[in-house]
Structure 1
Amino acid sequence: MKKLTLQFFDYHSWATKQLIEHLSKLPKEIMNKEVNSVFPSISQTFAHMYAVDELWFLRISGKSVNSIEPKPFKTIQEINDAFTYLHNEMLQFLNFKDDLEQTVIYTNTKGQRFSNSIREMIYHIVNHGTYHRGNISAMIRQLGYQGVSTDYIYYLRNINKA
């Protein structure tokens, strides 16, 4: 089970990197261009994704946090650097954690107490990221550019050819 959980997290990191790399090849101004979507811009969607990843990682690692303010990203390089650092920290933590079934008790943003296993929290992070990568892909298309596929099957094909 630990191996699969780590693979899912690795997929999340890979897919985010794929999207960032794709965006780095597009005009810079699309990052902050207003789009009618879940968030008003690509950079704000990334800021939300990053804040949520960071929030769950802090909870998983035993820190008491109720919310995190999204960081305003100005460039695709800032986004890349932030996610690379955070995902490396998370993967290092998960690799050394013996029991991903360990229960974590935390307080959500509304002050309610919950408990979930680390594995369940990782699955939530991955699922949340997939949802918002889809939002960003739709935004890219709305702005007149082609998206990039970050589906799990493409990840599997990528790691199997390595």
Structure 2
Amino acid sequence: MSLQKLMTNYANYNVWVNQQFVNWLSAKSDELLNQEVPSSYSSIAKTLLHIWETEEYWYSVIAETTFERNENVNLSTKEIFEGLLQSSTKLAERIKSLSEEQLFKEIKIENPWFQCELPLSEYLLQVVNHGTYHRGQIVTIGRNIGITDASNTDYNFYNVVKNQ
């Protein structure tokens, strides 16, 4: 399997898994999604917003554009859902358009938190793994507030389901 095919599949997984979470959480009340709990982000809605905002940052790295932080305060959960799905789709389309050579291109990052120079493909792995980490937190937050019906969203499950 080529790196391009693998990265495209991984980016498509990111769209799929975010869609699974939106489908799951859309049926829940805004009260539940905004209920404050002890976690790195204090509600499911705030955690989803963080995933979306971070995905936008990494998209700017991958697309080699300037990151413009939006002031996403007071957004409805519906707006957060839509923004996350649009961001994931935009990322997947970008990755699909890249050649093998472009995926190996090293991109230098210098910001107040870290400096590095890694291949673009490593940054895609970072953004999807970051989302996975926080989606796990969402499942845990959900369990703590009585939402126990999360579906299986593992990468391997995605690969099995998409090939059926």
Give the TM-score taking structure 2 as reference length.
Answer: 0.88
Contact 1:47 1:72 in 2 (8 A): no
Deviation at 1:143, TM superposition (A): 0.6
Deviation at 1:54, TM superposition (A): 0.3
Unaligned runs of 5+ in 1: none
- Name the CA distance, whole Å, in 2 between partners of 1:70 and 1:136: 22
Instruction: State the number of aligned residues.
Output: 159
Aligned residue number for residue 123 of structure 1: 125
Give the TM-score taking structure 1 as reference length.
Answer: 0.89
Deviation at 1:109, TM superposition (A): 3.7
Alignment of 1:73-112 (within 5 A): 74-98=75-99, 99-110=102-113, 112=114
Structure 2 counterpart of 1:22, from 16, 21, 24: 24
Change (3 A) 1:70 1:120: farther
C-alpha distance after superposition, 1:91-148 (max 9, x if no partner):
22112111211111122343x4321111000000111011000000111111111122
- Name the CA distance, whole Å, in 2 between partners of 1:79 and 1:136: 14
- Where in structure 1 do 4 or more consecutive aligned residues deviate above 6 Å? none
What one-letter code is carried by the residue in structure 2 that aligns with 1:84? L
Change (3 A) 1:104 1:82: same
Change (3 A) 1:70 1:118: farther
Query: Structure 1 vs Structure 2: percent identity of aligned residues?
Result: 26
Unaligned runs of 5+ in 2: none
